[in-house]
Amino acid sequence: MKFCSNCSNPMEQIIPDDDNRLRDVCTSCGYIDYQNPKNIVGVIASFNEKILLCKRNTEPRKNYWTVPAGFMENNESLMDGAKREAFEEVGIKDYDASLFMIYSVPHISQVHFYFYTELKNMNTNIGPEINKVDFFSFDEIPWEKIAFNSIAVLISKFFEIGSKNAKKQTFNLTFSKERTGK
């Protein structure tokens, strides 16, 4: 940040008193611009032991498969954000969900929160960010076309423990340079 959002004066990168990291600090009013991780929220949904995947209609990774997920908005809870994304992208709503996986990606300052739900049917309604929805068993997953490492890890963990245990377990993982999946 070059100029202060409060007073428009120049910002300088310094370590503020009682801190241990470089921050953008206003040289005039003392405002500190804290840059914090972005939260990604999403839903891994299953029906009859198959998971719902959606094909992205936007960059990055257009035409690659993912779960309904996106950036959390201000003034919403993790669950509200995940449910909003699932509704906007694939039209699923009115379901119970439990936290299934927390996935930290420190090198891009993101923390992903994925909730698990077991769907009552396969009804979907594709939103503009998605161009296709399908349900896959483990052997049907298009591993080479999975959009992001976090999604490959999420899918692998889900099939490793199964839908019954997915309701009861939460995983807390951190990004590894090696891609996980089949």
What are the tens digits of pLDDT across the range 60-119?
999 999 999 999 999 999 999 999 999 999 999 989 999 999 999 999 999 999 999 999
Enumerate the domain spans of the chain. Answer: 1-34, 38-174
Tally Cβ neighbours within 10 Å of residue 27.
Answer: 13
Looking at domain 1-34, its CATH architecture is Single Sheet (2.20)
% residues pLDDT > 90 (the chain): 91
Q: Hey, what CATH class is 38-174 in?
A: alpha beta
Residue 176: predicted pLDDT:
66
Task: Give per-residue pLDDT as tens, 103-123.
Answer: 999 999 999 999 999 999 999
Signed CA dihedral, 56, 58, 61, 66: sign only: negative
Looking at the DSSP bridge assignments, the partners of residue 54 are 66, 133
Interacting residues of 29 by C-beta distance below 8 A, sequence separation 6+: 4, 6, 7, 9
Mean pLDDT, rounded, for 169-173: 91
The 8-class DSSP code of residue 113 comes to: E
